[in-house]
Amino acid sequence: MLQLGTKVVIVADQYEQNLPIGEHGYIIAYDRNADNVFDYVLRVPSANRNFLIPDEDVELEEVLIQDEVDRIEREALIDFALATHNEELFKRIMNGENEIEPEPENTGKEPLSPADFIRQVNLKAWI
């Protein structure tokens, strides 16, 4: 549930109320009626009106800005990978992998004997 006075942006019009999509507004009240589908009363200054709005139709302005920043960053990385012919970076970005896979834990250690391996598995199974 969003706080009163929070600045939000209308992102959808689920119940076709002719909401001004893309406009910002401020939450001025909660709708506590259990028989109602609306969650908030939203004041939209540009329309000079109050609207009853469900939670799904609004999004925090900060969240929308962060989503846009992430999209622009991804596009810039794709452009950089294409310009430098970096196939590995391009594939990592297109597959959605944000990080390089961590190295296995056992690097630098000598391999376990089969008996030690069975002992460790049994020990972890009892924990």
Condensed to tens digits (0 to 9), the pLDDT of residues 41-52 reads 999 999 999 999
Whose tokens are 């992102």? That residue is 11
DSSP state of 86: -
| Claim: this prediction has a pTM higher than 0.75 | no
Report which of residues 119 and 61 the model is more confident about: 61
Mean pLDDT, the chain, whole residue set: 85
As a whole number, mean pLDDT of residues 3-12 equals 91
Beta-carbon contacts of 38 under 8 Å, excluding residues fewer than 6 positions away, are 31, 52, 53, 54
In this structure, what token pair is assigned to residue 87?
């196939």
As a whole number, mean pLDDT of residues 6-31 equals 91
Beta-carbon contacts of 51 under 8 Å, excluding residues fewer than 6 positions away, are 17, 19, 25, 41, 42, 44
Of 19-33, 57-71, 92-106, minimum mean pLDDT range: 92-106
Q: Helices marked H in 1-127 — which ranges?
A: 61-83, 87-94, 114-126
Predicted pLDDT of residue 67: 92
Predicted pLDDT of residue 94: 87
Predicted pLDDT of residue 51: 92
